[in-house]
Chains A and B, each alone.
Chain A
Amino acid sequence: MTVVLALLIIAVVGFVVVFPLRKTRPSPKVAKTGPDDELVSRKETTFTALKELDFDYAQGNLTPEDHEELQKKYKDKALTLLKQIDQQQTRQPASRPSEEGIEAEILRLRKTARKTEPQKAGAAGTAPSSTRQPRATPSPQAKSPCPKCHSQIPVSAKYCPYCGSALKPAVCAKCSTPYTPGQRFCSQCGATLTEEKGK
């Protein structure tokens, strides 16, 4: 009886442990470290500090002067971090193709395929199934539309080569809060916004 129970326990444990190892589908990968983690963490830390600052001020733990000075310091820091995160995000499309880039790449691959098909047909008897296509790589010339004049421009451009507008987010001159084109007043300080050409 004990031997049967022991074997049963071993069998159940073995099955439970080995079950996930069976090969039914390609192995998914564990998520790897993202490059922005540190920046995002610092941004969150700064935002938390800003919130704490306001609560401390509301409770009377900080004088208005200290509050204003420290708030400015942390807002500047938050802005710098946001800009760094934005820069990282705008750099990412260079390594990841845009929609236009993907379409251009598909077109190129189709053309290549059409060219190689007659060759394959001529070389009948070989093993075409084992022939591997070259891996699609993003085009270095990937383009995206300019937010102002909608011309197709390189994704890495800092200024539009057609209308000259700056491709970095515009910021309020008074409080440095980013704003979108067409906005007339700052959402944070209420200051009138003036478009700075070619900034």
Chain B
Amino acid sequence: MELNRTEKRSAVLPETKAKRNRKLTTDHLLALCFILPSIVLIAVFVYGFIGWTGYVSMSNWNTLVPDFSFAGLKNYAYLFQDYRFQADLRNTLVFTVLFIAVVVLAGQALAIFLDQKIRGESLFRNIFFFPMALSFVVTGVVWQWLLNPSTGVNLFLKKFGLDSMWYTNTDILAGFKWGKIEFGIPVAIIAVVIAAVWQMTGFSLAMYLAGLRAIPEELKEAARIDGASEFKVYRKVIIPLLRPITVSVIIIMAHISLKIFDLIYAMTGPGANFVTDVPGVYMFETTFRGNYYANGAAIAIIMLLFVAIFIVPYLISSRKGES
């Protein structure tokens, strides 16, 4: 903005251009000095290390001793042919789709119910929002016990003949052969989705509630005066107006679910036949147990690219929106 204005002015008064430019540099220098520490820190500790990870992922460092000789895309090729990584891709995809769908729908529905000016609204809001305050590790341990086939709720369910295997179930629904693995919906991942949804729905509820409160009463009134039923008001007016919230919720949930590690590590681990394994868990185990540093770095880079698929278009569109 500042720049545009000065340029316009200098076009009008070309003889002062040199003077203005010098002032600009001092300004810039000053600003630069203030942000330089954070630029340097972020450049080194975020982008520098991303670059370093990228380099390691193309090296031969798959032993205890660092070996930085160039290996090209060998590690990536290995991963995409690896049974476990293919299973990870399937699980991440299924988990992300189910998790986002349920969080968006349940958050929206609960927010609309809470918005009906019911009694004790703040109590319900807090109850729904409370799981957000827990860490994923706690959620993982709690749900591991709740859904353990031989303890907890299942002892009760068994009395009624409901003998569910939950996360120890190795069945894959709607499966077909894809690469080395059976592609489909692993039943075990549904148990993890339940835990993750329990934790994150409160967050999307809070966002939708804020969105609902931001919709001006006049719009709803106008629709009602035009003869729209209450159902139609929601379908044609309110829910379309919540679209920006939905986009934000999807972006936030996507980056959580694509990078998920702690919940699964605490709750199920990789699971039998890797039915609940995700790239984060594989990365941790292959790097720090198997000493496959280059393979681990390659998984990290692939995870970064997955998240970028969601985040970059969002950043571009929000930038467009600003200007």
Q: Do A and B come from one complex?
A: no
